[in-house]
Amino acid sequence: MKKTLIIGASPDANRYSYKAAHMLTSRGHEIVNVGVKTGEVAGVPIEKPAHVYKDIDTVTLYIGPATQPEYFDYIIATKPQRVIFNPGTENMELQRVLDANNIEYTEACTLVLLSTGQY
């Protein structure tokens, strides 16, 4: 199973980050929710990007490019195996930072990857 850091986690059931959190946990993946909202998603509290986890396999992004720069250092510090740019989160600047730190990334939809067994 792949421990996944969800950046842009939201307790709003209409948000894709919410759906991804539930789909990930239902398939046995451990999640960490990070975001600006308070509350919990899929039984896991939403945290601020303060604690740096060292056992993250995948970071999945649900925040737009304009908001991402404040998370660059946090993402790099977690040393994930990969970062998923969900639709609307694509960012060449962050991709260059990931390249410079030898972190893989893909432009894909976490929900689709999970649904098709490609996660």
Contact (CB, 8 A) for 5 and 78:
yes
Express the helix, strand and coil content of the chain in percent, nearest 5 each. Answer: 30, 20, 45
CB 64 within 8 A of CB 54: no
**What is the DSSP code (8-state) at residue 61?**
E
User: Cα–Cα distance between 88 and 64 in angstroms, integer?
Assistant: 6
Instruction: Write down the pLDDT at residue 58.
Output: 98
For position 55, what pLDDT does the model report?
97
pLDDT of the residue at 117: 94
pTM, two decimals, is 0.96
pLDDT 10s digits, 93-109: 999 999 999 999 999 99
> What is the reported pLDDT for 100?
98
Q: Is the dihedral of CA 14, 112, 3, 70 positive or negative?
A: negative
Between the CA of residue 19 and those of 32, 37, 42, 114, what are the distances in Å? 14, 16, 9, 11
Per-residue confidence (pLDDT) for residue 118, from 0 to 100: 94
- CATH 3.40.640.10 matches 4-115: no
Stretches in the chain below the pLDDT threshold 50: none
